[in-house]
Each structure stands twice: as C-alpha cells, then as structure tokens.
Amino acid sequence: MPLSGQSDFRSAIDFTALAVERTMDRLLPKGSDPEARLFEAMRYSVLGGGKRLRAFFVMASSTLFGVASQAALRVASAVEFVHAYSLIHDDLPAMDDDDFRRGQPSCHKRFDEATAILAGDALQALAFEVLAHEDTHGDPAVRTQLVAGLAQAVGPHGMVAGQMVDMDTEGKALSMGQITRLQRLKTGALISFACSAGAILAKASEPARHALIAYAHDVGLAFQIADDLLDVEGRREDTGKTPGKDAAAGKATFVSLLGRERARDQASLLADQAGRHLDMFGNKAELLRQAARYVVDRRA
Amino acid sequence: MPLSGQSDFRSAIDFTALAVERTMDRLLPKGSDPEARLFEAMRYSVLGGGKRLRAFFVMASSTLFGVASQAALRVASAVEFVHAYSLIHDDLPAMDDDDFRRGQPSCHKRFDEATAILAGDALQALAFEVLAHEDTHGDPAVRTQLVAGLAQAVGPHGMVAGQMVDMDTEGKALSMGQITRLQRLKTGALISFACSAGAILAKASEPARHALIAYAHDVGLAFQIADDLLDVEGRREDTGKTPGKDAAAGKATFVSLLGRERARDQASLLADQAGRHLDMFGNKAELLRQAARYVVDRRA
C-alpha cells in the first residue's frame, strides 16, 4: 500500500516509519565478520523506532509527484542514516555528552567511544553509497543531484557547521538572527534536503522545488522551536532525553530568547505559513500540511 | 605542465603534491563565519604537506588514459580529504590517542576533540560533494561511479571496518591472513579506489580497470608492510610520528609476525609484482611502477 493511500497523517507517519525501518534493515550491514561490532553499533543506533520525520518528508514529497516508493524509501533511508550518524557523534562525551537517546543508552554508552565514532563515520559513507546506487534511480543525473544535495546539506556549510556553532556558542548570548542561522544549519539543511528529495527524484519543475524548500524552511524552524520547548516542558518518558539539557549547558534557544508563550505562537505561525507555500499542489499536499502541524504539536 | 611531462618519479610526486595542495586549498571552505573554527581545523589537517601518495595514484592512473588533469585533481583532492578525515578520527583519544601527526600536534591537540570530530565529519561530506559536482566530469554516470566507488572503499565494508578490526584486535595474536584482510580494509580499499580513479574517469575497459586494481592490491599491501617497518625503524624526524607506537599498543603487524628481514623481502616482492600487473600499458605505466618501488623504499 503506497503512502498516497493514507489520508490520515497519524497512520501515514506510522506507515512510513515501518516501511523505512524495513528498508534500512535491508541496507544496513550485518554478519559475523570481525567487524561485526561496527555493524551492531550502526544497527543499534539506526533501528528500533523514532518518528522518522525526515524519512516522512522524503516519502510525502515523493508522493506529491508519484515517485515509486521503492526509490523514495532508499533516499529516506539515506537521510535517516545521516541523521543517526549526527546523533551518535553529538552524544559523544567531547560533544553534548548525553548518556541517553530515545530512552536507551546512547551508542558510546552501549558500546564504547571508538565504536560510536566509527559507526557514525560508516553511516555517513553508507548514505552516499545508497544514493549513488542504480536502484535509487535509473538516471545517474538524478543520483548525482541527490548526492550533491545531501553532501551540501550535511557538510561544512550545513549540518556540521551548525553543530560547530552550537558548541562554540554555549554560554553565550545569541540574537534571534544568530539562533535562526544556527538552526538552519544544524537541523534545517537536512530537513530541506528531505523535503526537496521528491522533487529531485521526479525531476520536478523549479517552482515545485522552490515551494518545497520554502515549506521546509518554515517547518525546520518550527521544528526547532518545538524542540526547544520540549527541552523545557517535555517529560523524559515521552522524549527519551534528559530534560533541561540545553539550559544546563547554557545554550541559548528560541525559548530562552522569546519565552515559552511567544515561542509557541511563533512555531504555530510558522506551521501555518509552511502549509501555504504548498498551495500549488492543492489537496495532494495535505499530508505535508498536517506534518507541519504535527511538528509543533508533538510531545516527543 | 601535466603529469605526463614528468618522467622522473621524484619530480612527478612533488609536482602532484603541489598541484593537489593548490586544488584542495581552493575547494576547502574559508571565511569569517561563526563556524570559521571548523574551516580552520579542516585546513590545518588537510593542507601543509605530506607525500600525497593517494593523490599521486589518482593522477598517475589518470595520466595513463589522458584524463584532463583538472578533473583528476578534483578526484585526488576528494581522496585526500577522506584520508585526512580518517587520520583526524584515528588520532582521537578514544581511538589511537596520538598527539602528533606529520610532526605537528594532531587536530584534537591543536583545536579540541569536538572540533576534530566535526572537522573529520565535514571532510567526508566535502569529498562526496566534490565528486558529485559537474566540474569533476561532464557525464553524471561517471560521477556516480566515483561516488559509489569511494563510498564503498571507506564505508562499513572498507576503511571504517578496517579501523574497527584494528581497534578490536589490539593485544591479540593475528594470523597472516587476518592481518592481510585488516590491511586490505583499513588502507587497501582507499588505495584501490585511488588507483582505479583514472580508469573510471576515462571510462576505460574492464581489463584496464582490473589491471589497476591488481596493481593497487599489491601496492597497498607493500605500503602497509613498509609502514610497519617504519614504525619499528623509522625516526621521528623523518616520519613525524611517535616511533614504536604499534608495538606499545600491542598491535599485531606484518613485522611482528614475519620479522624485519622477511617483511622487507615480502614488501619488495610485492612491489615488483605490482609493476608487472601493468604490462598492458607498456612504458606509459613507468611512473606507477616507480611508485611501487618508492612505497617500499621510503623513509617516511
């Protein structure tokens, strides 16, 4: 059953999570080689749940253009591999030093630091390997666009830069503009890639791509504000993370800058605005509009 | 002046090192953005010397087929970016814990651990970004082959697996077969990709590709044996590394298994054998044959 058969957002995101989990399970290495510990650490960090929101963005944007779900699931897996790698490295003692992730011991606690570093490194390589493989798309021009798009999103002008700024600005006061830029890099760039993946796979028109990127822009920001709110208000049972972590680390967040109420209003505004960027797609974009609402209303 | 104008190996490798250094300098990010520290760490670890042997293999294999040096230099840079990332991560306290690299403080000593982890992560992404860019080759099918080749060489069935096994087997006795497999993964896979890059760029015949891979196979092994010998016999002034590191870490090496003399003989044998794999290219492969000799005779 393809995603387009799902009209209700909750069942659509659950359906995606299940399908992408199966695809990732197939793409991840396994075996009894001497390096099996590496494979185990990769599987431990990738599999076993999560909202798979980034995967959902890939699948929902692909559904807009009627892209075959088999291709989209591979791209969704690559995005989740990169996301998982970034979480493994972020959790390391030298970085955010977090012992828990999704309510489970983080990778370096379950295994060890060296294994966690290597598992992250291997997941990044695997993501590009999956995108470059002919099963992802018959046209190599599309595959290189996917590779280039992901590399830009997560490289020195994307996700990694955001993480660097995040580390460097701990304990410093940041302006709204600075926090927004940080978020765009740290989480926004990968979300943008995920949302535009469907358009790349379908060789869609420039206006269609731009609409999705504009949507991603607002959704990404809304997502981060909601994340900051959850750090303050969320319960460990729901989020699986140590609450109050950002405040304890002296991190400037949207909430520390705006206060809870204005932050909540801002996130809600952005979610509505995100949906309106998709007017050109009419009803077909309903799942993406609901996703924008979900992003700000979620509890985990 | 293209590499094909260089008949003498020593001037050819120096020439390549200079050219690739210039290309990498152009491809690496710079600026005064808040994440400038990340850019500095990437530049610190990549630029400023080294033999650039992997880059040389890309350039020399490209010269065999008359590939434009501008394209080859981009692939050579991508390979060196990945090599540099692997060294940064290998040097981390949780991994080999080495304070020096090429006679300079290693990245995490010059900067800090978090910056070193991120610089490595960003260099890996940058390598794939460079390969996927249209300046690397006009044909996207070639670019995806390069991306797939590099990803396989450095991912969970390549370089990272080798590093995992290397960490896991410290202090354990290994057989010749186990050490050979470890080396193939840890250093051999990337060297194989570098040696076959010219054939990919030129869309060369299967026999030509296989000849280069067979060459790389033997050169890679010879390289590792020579490296193990240098760890025992090398001087810090030459190698820029802490001598006796492997023995102190209880690592099984070709030297600990074979003894110095037999290891030296074996490396020499492999270098000659490597050269013979290139018979089909006649005199055009002279630089690659000399490179195989250099690999075993070098002092650093």
Q: pLDDT by residue (tens digit) across B184-242? A: 999 999 999 999 999 999 999 999 999 999 999 999 999 999 999 998 887 777 776 66
Give the closest of B122, B141, B168 to A160, CB-based.
Answer: B122
Q: How far apart are CA A237 and CA B3, in angstroms?
A: 62
Residue among A129, A135, A178, A193 with most chain B CBs within 10 A, to mutate:
A129
Residue A77: φ, ψ to 5°: -65, -45
Please tell me what DSSP assigns to residue B185: I
Q: According to the model, what pLDDT value does residue B6 have? A: 57
Quick check: B39 and A129 CB within 8 A? Answer: no
Chain A residue nearest residue B134, CA to CA = A144
Would the pLDDT of B175 be above 90?
yes
Q: Are B83 and B54 in contact (CB under 8 A)?
A: yes
Would the pLDDT of B248 be above 90?
no
**What is the per-residue pLDDT across B31-58, written as a single tens digit (0 to 9) for each?**
998 999 999 999 999 998 788 999 999 9
Q: Are B110 and B104 in contact (CB under 8 A)?
A: yes
pLDDT mean over B52-74: 97
Contacts of A27 in chain B (CB under 8 A): none
Quick check: B42 and A156 CB within 8 A? Answer: yes
Quick check: B121 and A124 CB within 8 A? Answer: yes
Q: How far apart are CA A208 and CA A284, in angstroms?
A: 13
* Reported pTM: 0.95
Quick check: A114 and B167 CB within 8 A? Answer: yes
Q: According to the model, what pLDDT value does residue A1 have? A: 44
Quick check: A129 and B155 CB within 8 A? Answer: yes
The domain that holds B226 is classified in CATH as 1.10.600.10
**What is the per-residue pLDDT across A154-201, written as a single tens digit (0 to 9) for each?**
999 999 999 999 999 988 889 999 999 999 999 999 999 999 999 999
pLDDT mean over B121-138: 98
Contacts of B182 in chain A (CB under 8 A): 34
Least Cα distance to B117 among A93, A40, A63, A25 occurs for: A93
pLDDT mean over B177-190: 96
List, in sequence order, the alpha helices (H) in chain B.
9-27, 36-46, 53-64, 69-91, 107-110, 113-132, 140-154, 159-168, 176-183, 189-201, 206-233, 236-239, 245-248, 254-258, 260-276, 286-297
| Domain ranges, residue A209 | 3-297
3-state SS, one letter per residue, for B85-108: HHHHHHHCCCCCCCCEECCEECHH
3-state SS, one letter per residue, for B112-144: CHHHHHHHHHHHHHHHHHHHHCCCCCCCHHHHH
Q: According to the model, what pLDDT value does residue A143 have? A: 98
Q: How far apart are CA A97 and CA A246, in angstroms?
A: 12
Q: According to the model, what pLDDT value does residue B111 have? A: 97
Q: According to the model, what pLDDT value does residue B234 have? A: 76
Give the closest of A38, A117, A133 to B156, CB-based.
Answer: A38
Which run of H or of E encompasses A105?
A: strand A104-105
Token couple for B177: 């077969």
Q: According to the model, what pLDDT value does residue A3 have? A: 65
Taking CA B219 as the corner, what is the angle to CA B217 and CA B225, rounded to the nearest 5 degrees?
A: 105
Would the pLDDT of B243 be above 50?
yes
Could you tell me the pLDDT band of residue B5, with boundaries at 50, 70 and 90? low
Averaged confidence pLDDT in chain B? 93
Residues in chain A, total: 300
Give me the sign of the Cα torsion angle B75, B76, B82, B85.
Answer: negative
Q: Which of A118-122, A138-142, B238-242 is least confident? A: B238-242
ipTM for this prediction: 0.95
Please state the domain count of chain A. 1
Q: Are A62 and A202 in contact (CB under 8 A)?
A: yes
Which residues are paired to B100 by β-bridges?
B105
**What is the per-residue pLDDT across A213-236, written as a single tens digit (0 to 9) for each?**
999 999 999 999 999 999 888 777
Find where tokens 């050269």 sit: B275
pLDDT mean over A236-262: 81
